[in-house]
Every structure is written in C-alpha cells, then in structure tokens.
Structure 1
Amino acid sequence: MEPMQMALPVTLPDDETFSSYFGGEQSLEVTHLKSAFAKREAQFQFTYLCGLADSGKSHLLYATCVYAQELGLSTMLLSLREVLHYGPEMLDGLDGLDVVCIDDMQLVAGNESWEKALFNFYNRFNEPGKLLVVAADLLPNMLNLFLPDLESRLTWGTTFQIRSMSDDDKAEALVKRAKMRGLELSDDCSRFLLTRLSRDMRALLDVLDKLDHASMAAQRKLTIPFIKSTLGL
C-alpha cells in the first residue's frame, strides 16, 4: 500500500534546515543525524529526540527530511498531532521509504492500536538502508506506554535530550532566520517581538514570515514602528 501523502506539514517554514537550527550545525545532535545518513547503508539507524516545547526537536525532524530529499532519498515526516484521528493506517506503506520522521510520540501513549502499529512498523523498517527519527516530550520510560516492547524499541538507538530555547536563544534564532531570508532584523526588533507577542517559536516564525512579505511589499526596512504598524500593536 502506498503511504498517504501528508509528508511535510504546511505550517512549517521552508527554511527549517540543519544550518538554521538554533543549536548550530556543529551541535552533537546535528552532527549525529548527518552521520546517520552515511551509516544507514550498513545498519539501520534510529534516533530518539526528547525535549519540551521550543526545544527545536520538530525543527530537527523537518531538517532531517530536507537533508534526505537533497540526497535523493524518499522521506516522510509524520506529525502524530496532525494524523492521530486518521488512525494507525497512516503507517501503512511507510516501510517502503528510506527515511521516516515521527513527531509527538507522547500522543499515542496508552493507545493500544497506535502503539501496536508503531511497534510493527519499527520491526518492518528495521533493516539496512533505513533511517528513523522519533521525537517526544519525554524519555521512552516516562511515556507510560501500553506496550513494554515498544518502549524497549525506542531505547535501542541514540537518544538526545534537548533543552528548551531561552529568550536569548529565540531572539538570536529570529535574527539568524531573518538573515537567511535576506531580511535585516535588529536585536532590538527581535527583542520587541519577544516582549509583545507569544514566545512560542513557531508563532514567532509565522510572524517573521508576515513581516518579510510586508517589508517586501512596502519596500521598507524592519523597524519597531513598522512592526507595530504591520502587526497592529
């Protein structure tokens, strides 16, 4: 069965790459994920990313898929938050892909049908040439999973516990992301956004996207007065 085409969530910006990751391209997690691509031909590669909101784990999943596409590999990012209500049939056919990333694993904890489907998918996917990355907000032994065997599988690979971003991290990330778009965002402007808007990184990136379009349309630089006017603050 062919996998359903719900690959990369449209809510994610198109610049979620390893180079834009706030931890840096030389971070242990990025270095590991890149090296996993080279190792997968000899042995199945599994990585578990653990972190709370704004830790950047979803960014790493998306970046992994982008990197896979650049290498010409078939890939899919499955956000369980987006597809949970469709049922575990969403996993059908994914074992035919080279790289699979699964986000929000904690949402299926206690759901017997989903846990069994994920366990069976893991076993089918576990072969040379394949790369699997899973993200959740807690470590496997803290998820209260129904299936002990699934918990065991989730501990087989390399696990990274990623800290949440501080306000300084977020301000720096906004400036960096703006620069990648050819947009100049001063430190003062980034801090203004953090003090006046939600500190959720995804929401902040959505705002940056809106400001980018507004700046291009008006041929204006990003200043605090322009930001206020554009966002109605």
Structure 2
Amino acid sequence: MRQIPLALLAPPAHSFDNFLPGANAEALAYLLGLMPADPPVLLWGPTGSGKTHLLQALAERWQAAGQRVAWYDADTALPWELPAHESLLLLDDCQRFDAGQQHAAFALFVASAGQGYTVVATADAPAVDLNVREDLRTRLGWGPSFQLTPLREAEMRAVLRREADRRGLLLGDEVLSYLLTRFERNLKGLMSLLERLDEFAMASKRSLTLPLLKAMLADETGEKKIDSDPIL
C-alpha cells in the first residue's frame, strides 16, 4: 500500500478540471458524485483511455476534502494493508496483478466490506473477461462498471494543444498533424512524447518544429536520420 501525498496528485495532467471526457462523460459524472461506502466501481478500457488519470483526479478530489486515499498497483510491494480508517481504495491496472497481488486485492475487498471504505478499480477489460482469480473477478464486477474509450482526433488535438499551451510551447499544425498521423493515437504515449519534446527544445534552445521533432527522435534512437516513422 502507498499513501499518496496530495502534492503528487495535483499536476494539471491528472485532475478533473482538465480531463476531457469525450465519450466518457457518464463515468466522469458518476465519479464526481461518488460517496464513501458506495459500491465498488470498475473503469475499463485500453491504454490511453484515461483510467489512471481519473483515479489520480479522484484521489486529489478526496484528499482535498480531507479524506484518506490508498493506492495499489502491480508495482506496490506486498503485503497490502487495509488503512486503519475509512478510505478511498484505488486498484490500478488489475490485469497486471500477479497471483499474490490478486489474493491481496481480494482480501482488501473482504476486509473493507461494510466498513465505510470505497473501492475504485481499473482494468483493460470488463470483469468477466479479466484473467484473474474468480473471487476477485466477482468483486470487481459487483458494482457499477464503465467502459472508457480513447478520445477522437479532434478531442486529442485539443488536449495536446492545451498541454502545449500550459508548457509555453507553440504547437503548430504541422507538428500536431505529424504526431497524430505517424504515431499511435495513444494519449498517454503522445503526452510523454510532448514532454520529451519540450525538454529537447529547451536543451537545444530551438522552437518546436517538425525538424526539431525528427532530430529528437533520431537522437533517441542514436541515428543520424530517420528512415521511417516510428510507432509508439
């Protein structure tokens, strides 16, 4: 278990204020109305659909209200302990849990039942299709379940422009179109690429242009030039 410092949950990239819901408005509305002791919630969908973003935004919101939050994922070392006081329990990427972590996650469900805790979990598939132990699958599928879908191109453009503006970058149409046509439309990967491009532009003391992007990619792969366009 990791108790999450509020400071780690406050970056603009992980808040409700700058989460663009797209087709995920129903899930967003439900999380905004979530209360202590509500039934467990499962958010599922592919990488880049905003699952972890929503967990971190939810944690920020609850902590800002003075409530406790505990986070568990595949990188959280065992044993997983239930907090001594009522808390928001977050289980991220349940499909990545190994056998010991699946046992620990089920134990959290059992120990927290009827005690005022609230569980919100994420996975890459609905509970019925998850490759986890049956008792954990049953718990994950017991409450409301929301499928999250990636943003459409226009929405993704808006998010990338907003993040570029936040960083003080001028993201031109040429660079933006290159990112969206030559790379997988995975928002998490594209945001990471934009962050690296920001750092590279600062280090190079150059403006954000298509030649700069290609130079960064060549630098990352150790090549003098890019012969083909990579897929993230």
Which band: TM-score by shorter chain? 0.7 to 0.9
Name the counterpart of 2:103: 116
> 181-190 or 26-35: which moved more?
181-190
Counterpart contact for 2:48–2:189, Cα < 8 Å: no
Unaligned residue ranges in structure 1 (runs of 5+): none
Equivalent pair of 1:95/1:124 in contact (CA under 8 Å): no
Match of 1:48 among 36, 42, 62: 42
Summarize the Cα distance change of 1:95–1:224 in structure 2 as closer, same or farther, 3 Å threshold: farther
The match for 1:163 is: 149
Q: Is 1:78–1:101's contact at 8 Å kept on the other side of the alignment?
A: yes
Distance 1:165 1:25 in 2: 7
Amino acid at match of 2:111: R
Separation (CA, whole Å) in 2 of partners of 1:101 and 1:215: 36
User: Does residue 176 in structure 1 map to residue 162 in structure 2?
Assistant: yes
Offset of 1:22 from its aligned partner?
3.1
Give the match for residue 185 of structure 1.
Answer: 171
Contact 2:41 2:145 in 1 (8 A): yes
**C-alpha distance in 2 between matches for 1:174 and 1:24:** 14
Normalised by the size of structure 2, how large is the TM-score? 0.75
Counterpart residue type for residue 89 of structure 2: V
Aligned length: 217
| Separation of aligned partners in 1, 2:20 and 2:89 | 22
> Percent of aligned pairs with the same residue?
28
| Structure 2 segments unaligned to the other structure (5+ residues) | 219-225, 227-232
Please provide the CA RMSD for this pair. Answer: 3.3
CA distance in 2, matches of 1:129, 1:177: 37
Shift of 1:32: 1.0
2:90 aligns with one of 83, 98, 101: 101
1:61, CA displacement in angstroms? Answer: 1.4
Aligned position for 1:131:
118
* Residue 51 (structure 2) aligns with: 57
Q: Distance in 1 between matches of 2:96 and 2:174?
A: 38
- 1:219 CA displacement: 6.3
Cα distance in 2 for residues equivalent to 1:192 and 1:152: 43
**Distance in 2 between residues matched to 1:97 and 1:221, nearest whole Å:** 49
Shift of the alpha carbon at 1:161?
Answer: 0.8
